Amino acid sequence: MNLELRHLKVVCAIAETGSVTKAASALGLAQPALTAQLQRIERTLGGPLFERDRRGARPTALGELVLERARVLLPAMKGLQDEAARLAGAGTGLNQYRFGGVNSPILGRLVHRLTTDQPHAQISTYASWYVDELAQLVLGGRLDYALAGVCGDATPSAEYGLTWQAVAVDAVFVVLPEAHPLATRDEVDLADLAGEQWVAAPGDGCFGDCFASACARAGFTPRKVYETDIRGSTDLVEAGAAVALCQATFRPVSGLVTRPLAGAPLRWRLLLGWHAESLAAGMAERILAYARAAYHDAIARNPNYRAWLLRNPTFGAQRPAAA
């Protein structure tokens, strides 16, 4: 048997988990199948790679040697694959655009503007709840651009080496049923929501440290947070079982209203990201201009938020950086 990269991944998985059983689970394999594969690897290399007993699996001297080399080879091969994918995937140059979005309020309008200006462009989209997943796909050359949001002044992880530019900074509003006692107010104090149940969609959002900190400043600890998809969140709010945070650009369905939180204690920054070494980087400034124009399109259809922005000029679309 010839040793392959997948065999090195098996050895690393066993070492990292400390157990053949746990490694099999992590790799999505049956434990007997992984054991048989490990035995074939050991026969190929001429000796046992792990000492196995009730306490788990520990590398032998031969195992440490293989792990040392594997931990160099596997990242190097991953880097090669990522660079090749970026070149091959973006090889059509200016005629192919692959976008990923995290619950983005402007992706549809951005695509519309792009297809209007370039009718023959090949455009694809990918939805994810998580910024890190999109960043990995951009790094791996499977997406050209990521539209993502982060709470407050946070920034996406630098681990993926992407360039990020702000499209807009929005306030975070609260969604209430029309019959809610606070629904008639122009704005709602976060403290007045201390007794509410909350609901949120999964993934990246403001239901984390930012929200907990804002509630603490308002003098309370939030009650239980339900987690479901956007439709489920809307249903729970409409039923009066919970309230929800939302991007200020969100236009509620019939029976719901959105209201600003007094003092804007939570902010949502909409970002566009790309890899500086990809061919897509050459079009990044133009795509960023499309994104900002798409944001203005969204605001134009939301008169309540447009009026709020006039009173709060530090929010809204971000100006291009000076050259």
Q: What CATH code is carried by the domain that includes residue 40?
A: 1.10.10.10
Interior CA angle at 220 toward 218 and 223, to 5°? 130
> Is the domain of 73 the same as that of 117?
no
21: closest CA among 6, 7, 38?
Answer: 38
> Is the domain of 179 the same as that of 58?
no
Specify the pLDDT at position 206. 65
Specify the pLDDT at position 85. 62
Specify the pLDDT at position 323. 43
* Amino acid identity for residue 33 in this structure: A
pTM: 0.69
> Is the domain of 55 the same as that of 145?
no
Domain, as residue range, for 287: 94-323
Specify the pLDDT at position 91. 45
> Is the domain of 56 the same as that of 160?
no
- The residues that bridge with 246 in the sheet, in sequence order, are 173
> Is the domain of 198 the same as that of 52?
no
> Is the domain of 196 the same as that of 256?
yes
> Is the domain of 167 the same as that of 256?
yes
> Is the domain of 251 the same as that of 286?
yes
- The answer for residues whose C-beta is within 8 angstroms of residue 42's C-beta and 6 or more apart is 48, 49
Specify the pLDDT at position 204. 66
Specify the pLDDT at position 284. 93
CA-to-CA distance for 154 and 130, rounded, in angstroms?
14
> Is the domain of 22 the same as that of 127?
no
Specify the pLDDT at position 92. 46
110: closest CA among 296, 318, 302, 317?
Answer: 296
Specify the pLDDT at position 302. 87
* Amino acid identity for residue 16 in this structure: E
> Is the domain of 20 the same as that of 158?
no
Q: What Cα–Cα distance (Å) separates residue 155 from each residue in 149, 163, 169, 270?
A: 9, 11, 13, 11
**Residue that is last in its domain, among 88, 119, 136:** 88
Instruction: Output the tens digit of pLDDT for each of the chain's 323 residues.
Output: 778 888 999 999 999 999 999 998 888 888 888 898 899 999 999 999 999 888 889 999 999 999 999 998 888 887 777 666 655 554 445 578 999 987 778 899 999 999 998 888 889 999 888 888 999 999 988 999 999 988 887 888 888 889 999 999 999 999 999 999 999 999 999 999 999 999 988 776 666 778 888 999 999 998 878 888 888 989 999 999 999 998 888 887 889 999 999 999 999 999 999 999 888 898 999 999 999 999 999 999 888 899 999 999 999 998 765 44
Report the domain count for the chain. Answer: 2
Q: Is-contact 256 178, C-beta < 8 A?
A: yes
> Is the domain of 258 the same as that of 133?
yes
**Residue that is last in its domain, among 19, 54, 88:** 88
The CATH number of residue 234's host domain is 3.40.190.290
